Amino acid sequence: MKRAYIYTTPHPTKIRLTMTNDYRYRLDNSRPRIKVTCPACGRQKKLVRYIDTQTGRFLADHVGKCDRIFKCGYHYTPSDYFRDHPWLREASSWLPSTSLHQRAPQRVGPIRTPSFIDTGLMNETVKHCQSSTLFRFLSSLWGEDEAMRLFRLYNVGASSRMNDAAVFWQVDINGCIRTGKIMRYGNDGHRIKEDGLVNFMWAHRMKSMVDNTEDFNLVQCFFGEHLLSAYPDSKVMIVESEKSAIIASHYYPQYLWLASGGCCGCLNQTASQVLKGREVWLVPDLDAENRWRSKLAMLRTITPTVGIVTAISNMATPEQRAAKLDIADFLLDTASRNNPIVGAADKAGQLAECREDFSNKIP
């Protein structure tokens, strides 16, 4: 591989001589490394951003990889970024280059198909879903039968290897298993995030699930995506977390609830193709409304009937905003649940941003 030295400016006060390969964008490896807050886990100075080796500039602050690989796992690549914002790829072509050499040719490799996990392995974890702490918590609220119905509907299992963690399987629209997110929950139903403990793991990184973890080609899909074909006429509500999708499905079963799996997650051009022709409503967490609003233009190229629910944001207190609550937090709060969470939608073909108060629901 040919290598060349170029000057980059990852910080306005520093100019470093660094080595680059043929890729235009790479994770920042300057010293001292300038890290920012991870948009997924909220930890400060954990996100390593991607840098443009031609301009020496960072891409957007959410384009990067979290240091907390197993506890968070957030990784939003330049490919994801330009796929979600195709107009920016064109604009970047005329940006002045500060490189000492001509732009290296982009690598074009063979298109790899997604890898899958055996269905039997998923089913085995679902059989033991009652042993997960999250199942016990939801059973205490709704009863064991209802918790079991939802866990089986969404293919949620339990992992005995991580202190009875929940396994949220990503099953695509064709019934193929892309991966599973293994996460630990406390008795209060909230995720355990203490440092020094393994609280998050990917199923495709476990040798007990996959023969060759290094060759596994992960292409994520929406959590609950397999239900799109089972409920072709249902309005689709998309939340961020898997737990929120399950909880919202209990209180509002007339809608089909999916989870993007993170603040950006599957809200990209490729993964969102399964939403074509559906009526879609985004229900962002309190701290993610602006980021999700930026996805509307992209989603409307796939399905014109898409909007964003702002009811939670409209009624949230400063304390709730600081706590970065989501729809599940409001639904599990009795006082908040007395008011419907989702606002009224416009008639089909006239969908705009949903700004109704809690006195109405989507018809």
CATH code at 312?
Answer: 3.40.1360
CA atoms of 21 and 2, how far apart (whole Å): 7
Q: Which residue has the tokens 């702490």?
A: 133
Confidence check: pLDDT of 192 > 80: yes
What is the predicted pLDDT for the residue at 107?
47
Confidence check: pLDDT of 12 > 50: no
User: Do 164 and 139 share a domain, yes or no?
Assistant: yes
Q: Establish if 235 belongs to a structural domain.
A: yes
What is the predicted pLDDT for the residue at 60?
81
User: Do 281 and 350 share a domain, yes or no?
Assistant: yes
User: Do 208 and 234 share a domain, yes or no?
Assistant: no
User: Do 233 and 315 share a domain, yes or no?
Assistant: yes
pLDDT of 311-360, one tens digit each?
A: 788 888 889 888 888 899 988 886 555 555 444 333 333 333 333 332 23
User: Are the C-beta atoms of residues 152 and 145 closer than 8 Å to each other?
Assistant: no
Give the domain-ending residue among 92, 127, 154: 92
User: Are the C-beta atoms of residues 39 and 47 closer than 8 Å to each other?
Assistant: yes
Q: Residues, the chain, total?
A: 363
User: Do 201 and 250 share a domain, yes or no?
Assistant: no
Please indicate whether residue 138 or residue 31 has the higher confidence score (pLDDT).
Answer: 138
Q: Establish if 167 belongs to a structural domain.
A: yes
What is the predicted pLDDT for the residue at 262?
78
What is the predicted pLDDT for the residue at 334?
63
Place 22 in a pLDDT band, splitting at 50, 70 and 90.
Answer: low
User: Do 334 and 244 share a domain, yes or no?
Assistant: yes
User: Do 190 and 242 share a domain, yes or no?
Assistant: no
User: Do 240 and 202 share a domain, yes or no?
Assistant: no
Q: Establish if 101 belongs to a structural domain.
A: no
For the chain, the domain total comes to 3
Query: For the chain, how big is the Rg over CA atoms in Å?
Result: 21
Q: Establish if 13 belongs to a structural domain.
A: yes
Which residues constitute the domain of residue 127? 111-221
In the predicted model, what is the mean pLDDT of the chain? 79
User: Do 217 and 279 share a domain, yes or no?
Assistant: no
Confidence check: pLDDT of 92 > 70: no
User: Do 215 and 234 share a domain, yes or no?
Assistant: no
What is the predicted pLDDT for the residue at 68?
79
Place 128 in a pLDDT band, splitting at 50, 70 and 90.
Answer: very high
Give the domain-ending residue among 64, 92, 120: 92
Place 288 in a pLDDT band, splitting at 50, 70 and 90.
Answer: confident
User: Are the C-beta atoms of residues 6 and 24 closer than 8 Å to each other?
Assistant: no
Place 214 in a pLDDT band, splitting at 50, 70 and 90.
Answer: confident
User: Do 124 and 196 share a domain, yes or no?
Assistant: yes
The answer, as to whether pTM is greater than 0.85, is: no
pLDDT of 265-274, one tens digit each?
A: 789 888 999 9
Q: How far is CA 73 from the centre of its chain?
A: 10
Helix extents (H) in the chain: 78-84, 86-92, 119-127, 133-142, 144-153, 227-230, 242-251, 289-293, 296-300, 311-315, 318-322, 327-331, 334-337
Mean pLDDT of 284-296: 88
Q: Establish if 200 belongs to a structural domain.
A: yes
Please indicate whether residue 156 or residue 356 has the higher confidence score (pLDDT).
Answer: 156
